Structure 1
Amino acid sequence: MRKRILIWLGSMLLQAALIPAQATAGTNNYILRTSTGTNAAIVCSRYGLQIVRNLGQADVYLVQGSDSVPPDILQQWMKGDPDVKHIEPDDDTNVPEKSLVINPSPAGMPLTTAITDRDLIKLYGATAWAGYVQQPAMGLINAFLAQKRSTGTGIVAIIDTGVDPRHPLLSPVLVTGYDFTRNVEGAASEWNDLNQSTAAILQQSTAAILEKLSVVQLNQSTAAILEQSTAAILQGKKPPAYFGHGTMVAGLVHLVAPTAKIMPLKAFKADGSARLSDIVRAIYYATDHGARIINMSFSLPRFSDELMRAINYANRKGVICVASVGNESKHDLVYPAALGNVAGVGSTNLHDQRSAFSNYGADLVTIAAPGEGLVTTYPGKHYAQVSGTSFSAALVSGAAALLIGAVNSDTRISLEQADARRAFSQAAECKECDLGSGIIDLGAAVQYIRQEKLPDTK
């Protein structure tokens, strides 16, 4: 009784502090977990907060309050309140390539080679550049051998900037997604972040095989490969720096696992920024809508209880979670890659050395994959060359889809996170890399899954 009286008195004082400032103050957003779903409104009334939306679970909400009360003070007031299980700020996060601190080393396959190798070859019903399908990274991870046994099964959810739903390589494998920045189910299109004139320039591709190509450097990690006519018009009208990030990640997932499906979940804007609450919502959405793998090409510098809870929920449902480890060239923990039930992916160059920009360390990195000079899809029927741990993670997510397809149905019903980690540990050595088990070897991983007698999950 004494504790409840103190909470009530504290809330009255907090209300008194809020009321005079409400007209002019800004707001802070929080993720609130209550003891039961029905208590959220009571808690908000008690502390002068407003419910913005539910985050995909009955007891988790995005709430808003005046910034006249600092987050640590609000958290202190709530401490000991039996109706509050947890509250944390709705932090901002970014795609890792925004913090790429060291430029990638020269690519093993120069960009000029990617441009000139424009022969079209078949990729499971579609036509694609040979420079994309046969790029060196695929050989380095032994993907061609693995694809003789499996070409991917299940849905890979990609939490990113969205996707180009009309890209000819991706459109056949896309399933319904969700745009959490606009709260709309559907295509989760990246084009919605562009103004009409810039979008029209990128979409006017002639796709003429004889037209010369030009390289447009979009940011420190991405060079778009465009027809010269398109590149010339685009000068002065470049898209936002991280427009296309999700399409580029999706292109690499598709390259490794061409028959797996892709669920685009747009939590990031084209400037590379996102809110933690949208990421949490996306994880719950992916899990509840049939995803078998979640690709998270982003990293947060601070631990988040609600991010961990969402990933735990996904793991309990049998979802394999993959995340990039970041591009700060540090021996630091970032999340979600550092969580024990997530495969954290570091980057290597095309000479099997740790990328100078890649974060590293045994407590962070599970496995590594090439992350420099990769050729992938770019919005508007285009391609791009990219570098960063985001794209290493995409290769590993595709690898996980291959493993699911390689499961021997006589010995196992489904592949789960722990199984994937054991398969990934059948890796190629990366001397002095400090990148977990080393460089992923898909041939060895698929062979392990096919031969290993794994416990049945029926």
Structure 2
Amino acid sequence: MKGRVWLAGVLLALLWATPAKADTGIIIRTTGGLSALQVFCSLPLSPCTIVGSLDGTLGQVFLVTTPLDPTTFINLLGGTVGGLTGFVDAEVNQLLSLVDLHNLVPTPISPTLMSDRSSVAYPAGSSTPAWNSYVNQPAASIVEIQNAQNSFKVTGTGVVADIDTGVDPTHPVLQPVLVPGDGYDFTRNQPGGSELNDVAPSDFPTYPPPTCSSSTCPAPAQVNQSTAAVLDQSTAAVLDGNGNPNKYAAFGHGTMVMGIIHLVAPTAQLMPLKAFHSDGTASLSDILRAIYYGVQNNANVINMSFDMKTSSVELQKALDYANKQNVICAASSGNDGTQEIVYPAALQNDVMGVASTTNQDTRSQFSNYGNAIVWVAAPGESIVSTYPFNTYAAGWGTSFSAPFVSGGAALLHNLSTATAQSGAALATSHAVPLTDPGMNNGRLDLCMALGSVTTPSCSQDYSVSATPSTTTITAGQQASFTVSAAPLNGSKQTVTWDCMGAPQAATCAVSPSSVVLDGSNKATATVTLTTTARSAMATPRFLGKYAPPTPVRVTPLTWLTLIVLVLIAFSFGRIPRQRTGLAALAGVLTVSLCASSCGGYGGYVNNPPGSGTLSALTLSPTSVNGGSSSTGTVTLSGPAASGGAVVNLSSSASAAMVPSSVTVVQGYNSATFTVNTTTVSASTPVTITAAYAGVTKTASLTVMPPAASGTPAGSYTLTITGTSTNSSGNVSRTTTVQVVVN
């Protein structure tokens, strides 16, 4: 097979010419083949250039370019005089786009999206690692991937082709299952459908982009209107714009779609058929080439995650051809959120059109609907899949619903290689009914689809959903949701509820805590999130400037008083000589007092004054919440000299305020001061500086945001899990709801 694919690629490249850019492309079908078309294009009245064949080995459909008006040229083709021999039909080569007109990614993006990056082997028992948030995402349990695989012993066979932007052939999850040669690139007319060829390394600060981890890529970033990827910020910024918003508008689309097919059918081979550029554009002629190439190179399933609003005769004939060759086809129904006709989904004899549902089994607001284009629906919101650069992304849109059906077709092929379009459509019509109008057979259930064509059926199971999917409240209020467990395959189990993800100062409870399924009807419970009001922040208390204690001092007045008292006491003595001695003593004391009064020793009872230098500056505590205070201490190497030591103070930031100076009192070697702080929104480092006598000391203070009280504002994801026990052990099914707390 590898040789056939390589040879076909070489022939396509040789036969395909480069069309004149100023001319109009016309798709022509003729039974006369290439020779008849060459004759026609050589006529003076019908100038045209043959670009190449579109239908591979069949040789009846061609793309030509002409400088003539399209209507005039097509009329010449069918003319009775000078017309094209064997002419059947012709149409203008349309331009298609994958880029949606509306932003499908909700804001804000949940910080818990794809947060479980633990590694699991997929498929089970292999050596291929994959993120757990990809393998065990909610959509996988909703369509019952693992239950179907385990119950029917199928993991997919055959070749699933995807007409898209290509694939990252180096992604470790997809690399082992790509067909030899990695498909074909119709945008470059060369073997290998790698979308990495669309990347200009000079657009990126680092190329290849650095591998992501939980520390370098803490949360997914939006990269286009339908995708949020786990990438470093600089790479995400390039993909989301970087001066050219359209250049990478659809980059990664093909890698994601193929990742979903692989999730459903991990052992089926994948054939990337690159017909779309990274900006999301493609020509109808390349779409036709891809269909014929896939059919003629052994594809069993063709996925088409795109839509166009204008019908095409040749598109229908190409899909008729695929149908006759027993190739199963699925296509997305579009993301305009309306009831309209789009192609190829409307070609229901050849294609299964797929709409998008929420995890609560309701129609996604962006999904088109109507039985004329929808055969079945599948989850299409927050779908986690592979993404270029060895990472993962979440997608929103019917583009990510269709591959669930295409992967399911590979499981049906695993059951019977004779399964064709009609058989696959009949099997997938066994689906979960939906209450929303225009969703035709309902939501895809792989157990029901596979169980409709063989036995045994899947083990008893159930699905879990919650409504509403999102709500907004104010801190202090409650948010309520209804969670439902819907039995599958006649399940009659007891489901026990649990709720995780409640924010700070909030509780999440489910009542009743368990429900019993009766085999056919949904069982419901109420989920209540109770939040706590945030109290007003207390007004910071600013302390006054520190006043050091006054040293104990014996003053001259004190001495004088003592002397007078002694003289009076002894003046009543009976021995004159004693009075003479006392008088002498009083004289000595008087001289001492005079010396003291004239600037002599002042009588401090602590250490005598000296000439110390600044030796230390300390803060306690070194980290405070804004609005609180810290105490600073300056220390000298010795006691302050006469008049005290004035130490100058300063702060490096307004978040912390200090007095301009603090005085170390004469005879003391330290003094304290207060550092007052203001409220900050983020942790703020501040340097406090003290300077004295040519010596400078610094100390660091961290001012933190005030401690929160009550439930903080933010967007939170609650995960509600229903757990039961069956013959296979414990079964857990989850759903999520979004709560915005103001």
When the two structures are superposed, what TM-score results if normalisation uses the length of structure 2?
Answer: 0.54
Determine the structure 1 residue equivalent to 2:211.
Answer: 206
In structure 1, C-alpha distance between the alignment counterparts of 2:394 and 2:330, rounded to whole Å: 22
Give deviations 1:370-417, integer Å, cap 9, x for gaps.
Answer: 11111111100011111011110111111111111123xxxxx51000
* Other-structure match for 1:190: 195
Residue among 157, 160, 164 paired with 1:153? 157
Q: Which residue of structure 2 lines up, in the alignment, with residue 64 of structure 1?
A: 65
The Cα of 1:441 is off from its aligned counterpart by 0.5
The letter of the residue matching 1:131 is S
Cα root mean square deviation, aligned? 2.3
Q: Do residues 268 (structure 1) and 249 (structure 2) align?
A: no
1:251 and 1:155 mapped to 2: Cα distance?
14
Query: How far apart are 1:94 and its partner, in Å?
Result: 1.1
Contact 1:202/1:230 (<8 A) preserved: no
Q: Match for 1:178 among 177, 181, 184? A: 184
Counterpart residue type for residue 325 of structure 1 = S
Report how far residue 210 of structure 1 moved.
Answer: 4.8
Please report how far the alpha carbon of residue 207 of structure 1 lies from its aligned counterpart in structure 2 after TM superposition.
Answer: 4.5
Q: Does 1:242 align with 2:250?
A: yes
- Aligned with residue 379 of structure 1, among 379, 388, 397: 388
Per the alignment, do residues 25 and 203 of structure 1 end up closer, same or farther by CA in structure 2, a change over 3 Å counting?
closer
Query: Separation in 2 of the partners of 1:389 and 1:404?
Result: 23
Partner SS state of residue 345, structure 1: strand
Q: Which runs of 5+ in 2 are unaligned?
A: 1-19, 457-742
Q: Partner of 1:326 in structure 2?
A: 334
- Retained in 1: the 8 A contact 2:105–2:228? no
Q: How far has the Cα of 1:197 moved from its partner?
A: 2.9
For residues 349 and 128 of structure 1, do their structure 2 counterparts lie closer, same or farther at Cα, with a shift above 3 Å needed?
same
Q: 1:94 aligns with which of 91, 94, 97?
A: 97
Alignment match, 2:667: none
Which of 247, 253, 265 lines up with 1:257 in the alignment? 265
Task: Considering fraction of residues, name the structure with more helix.
Answer: 1
Are residue 78 (structure 1) and residue 74 (structure 2) matched?
Answer: no
Matched-pair contact (CA < 8 Å) for 1:424–1:440 = yes
Q: 1:200 to 1:159 in 2, by over 3 A?
A: farther
Q: Deviations over 1:410-440 (max 9, x none)?
A: xxx5100000011011000110231121100
Alignment of 1:21-420 (within 5 A): 26-37=22-33, 38-46=35-43, 47-55=46-54, 56=56, 57-66=58-67, 69-80=68-79, 81=83, 82-95=85-98, 98-101=99-102, 103=104, 111-124=110-123, 125=126, 126-148=128-150, 149=152, 150-175=154-179, 176=181, 177-186=183-192, 188-198=193-203, 201=206, 203-208=208-213, 210-227=215-232, 237=242, 240-340=248-348, 341-407=350-416, 413-420=417-424
Amino acid at match of 2:188: R
* Greater RCO (CA < 8 Å, at least 6 residues apart): 1
Number of aligned positions between the proteins: 417
SS in 1 for 2:88: strand
Cα distance in 1 between the residues matched to 2:438 and 2:281: 29
Whole-Å Cα distance in 2 between the matches of residues 435 and 451 of structure 1? 27
Look up the equivalent residue of 1:135 and give its one-letter code: Q
CA distance in 1, matches of 2:433, 2:210: 42
Q: Cα deviations across residues 272-309 of structure 1 (Å, max 9, x unaligned)?
A: 00000000000000001010000011111111111111
- Does residue 445 (structure 1) correspond to residue 449 (structure 2)? The answer is yes
DSSP-derived class of the 1:226 partner: coil
Once the two structures are superposed, residues 339-368 of structure 1 have per-residue CA deviations (whole angstroms, 9 ceiling, x without a partner) of 021001111111111111111111111110
Please report how far the alpha carbon of residue 203 of structure 1 lies from its aligned counterpart in structure 2 after TM superposition.
2.8
Percent identity between matched residues is 44
Task: Give the AA of the match of 2:41.
Answer: C
Secondary structure of the residue aligned to 2:65 is strand
Letter in 1 for 2:318: A
State the partner residue of 2:647.
none
Residue 25 to residue 198, structure 1, CA distance change in 2 (3 Å): closer
CA 1:86–1:447 in 2, change beyond 3 Å: closer, same or farther?
Answer: same
Q: Which amino acid aligns with 1:192?
A: N
Q: Structure 2 counterpart of 1:448, which letter?
A: S
**1:70 and 1:127, CA in 2 relative to 1: closer, same or farther beyond 3 A?**
same
Kindly indicate whether the alpha-carbon contact (under 8 Å) linking 1:221 and 1:387 is maintained by their aligned counterparts in 2: yes
Q: How far off is 1:202 after superposition? A: 5.8
> In the aligned structure 1, how far is the partner of 2:332 from the partner of 2:238?
34
Alpha-carbon distance change, 196 to 316 in structure 1, aligned in 2, over 3 angstroms: same
One-letter identity of the residue aligned with 1:36: G
Larger relative strand fraction: 2
Q: What is the TM-score with the length of structure 1 in the denominator? A: 0.86
Task: Give secondary structure in 1 for the equivalent of 2:120.
Answer: strand
Moved over 6 A (4+): 232-236
Moved more, 341-350 or 214-223: 214-223
Structure exhibiting the larger radius of gyration computed from Cα positions: 2
